Structure 1
């Protein structure tokens, strides 16, 4: 009897400390041999574990195929919520899923990870994936009828639209009911678009409804929604896709309006801080300095000082210091006993600032071409900033070949302070400045400099 009690105790204990696993198959296999698992928390990724991707095989479409596979045992104290498995650092290199105290297993194509993912284990993820597939079908039906009517209003589509509208609501209600008491319930209730009960008469009404009701089901206080990619993806949709203008100037204005709208929906200043940082990163990929400045000046800098990441601000200020639209960072030099500063030069209408080096073969090919070309451009001056380890070769070269330029010596080469301010990591690097030293272009090579200047 005692042995049976001990065995029963051990069996019960084994269940109480059981740990769940995340297992994945990648088909076709990919070159990367590592995978990192993160838990999502706001816009941050919290490291959970990492593992290697092994060569494996799987029975797919009635035949054995080579795949990559991985398996991670989650910590005993792993929190429920949204997780991300990252298998490469650029492009579409991750898959997101939910964890709620159950094993998770899936297969996906690494080139289209989120679109192709199919779950073989996990009730939560299976149901949510099925919901997304099914709700997309019925929403597309509504949209197709609406668009068909806008293209030809003589066609009688009211009955078809009402039928599609009813089918949509039925599908949504079904999944909200099935997901009750599950982690995914909040995501399902927050996901659907709000459709008109009757067919709309104009494109403006159609798009207007989408925009005006976009946030109606989004709860920015819901911790599960916040700690996932769900809300950030919705924010990106609203700013970059739902609101669009053909004219570049109008688009900038629209960006500012949509950003203000999004941030007005967020009461938590801490979360707002992270969303602003996230958006700055998004506009960084566009090199959109105007909107980055707007985010800093009109939103980030107005947050409580303890919610402003000073290191983040410092890094971004340095990163964007020498971008188009900025006043070129100042520096000074001496020549023949006379002191000069870039900011106070006034001997031309425009300037070409070039970072180069006598030890750079590309420079020794392009700098003479630039010198020859600029001889006929009396209203444009060249400031040639040489990155050198020592002065002798530069002195001899400039004396013999670069007469008429503002020649500046920058010692310590890549570690030169001015070069670092301008984020110079290759030579030659070109900047075209206006009379006030505002950067108006950053040509890649001499032929681009020539093309830009000839169009002035």
Structure 2
């Protein structure tokens, strides 16, 4: 009994030691109360907890060990702040102007260092090539030429090596970003597929929390070429084993990648593989399966409760009565929407005459832009004004705008058009 008590005490002490806090400070005129803390799994944000601010300070307690990317989202003002955790207290102060983040001050050592590192890397990748080209037009003995050379030499220098003992996550992120994803990497040291497979297979848990996994998988697919996608994926999954948590996370990421790039043949192949797994399914893969099941042909389109709908008194999507419904996910900042929605508008009266209702759910964040745009759209419009943080992104498996669905009178999915022309062709109003 004494041994059990001692073990319990050790575990309790470890949990207390592992806990850290996230503190976000804002000026007194910031008009938001709620804030949501997220961690990261692959490319998917995972909600940890929601807190209310006290005197414009939000404090989140994280109860266990975590190293990786985190974010806090303010839903009322649609502000997001990103930072890292190295399992130590995090302290961030925000400069706010007109309820929008103007500047971020990282007060803890890890995030201050990471911020400086990220700023240096961005300048190296984006600004250094431009400065190198400009230098050709200025002589070295001019003041501007000397200044250019100084800045080019500074940016060309090697980044400071981060001590992995003091800052394990920063060291992990920088080392592997430079090796696998940096645009400034030495072409002679370009990694091959086997090196990427080895890294994904042997990396510790920081791979899932680092934000590197999705771009690494895209780089892996690109390195294999478009003619051998199945061979590349099968080789990777055979090594990882899809029964393992990492194998399932990678499988989930690949399904989402194929969906985003409209590679339906490969998406369906590996979605079928995921559906037929006989092992215990991880939460990450389960969410991918659910969001895809929600929008399969013949499935009942999940209901959506409107937030601030225009051109209707209906409270939800199901309350809208029509023989057919066209659901479109769009945004006022989407160039394809800009060209496609006017074509839908031209035929709207014909569609309405056939008892076909259009319901447009926007992924906008700016209320003014959204309001101005929908003034021209007589159909039902609604938006959470949260962009890609909108609740319906996951529910309806939306990866791009515009995205269309056609529902029957019972809200079952009967068609998934790729373009507005397909919508008009389906209803023979083209």
TM-score scaled by length of structure 1:
0.47
Relative contact order (alpha carbons < 8 A, sep ≥ 6): 1 or 2 greater?
Answer: 2
Give the TM-score normalised by the residue count of structure 2.
Answer: 0.50
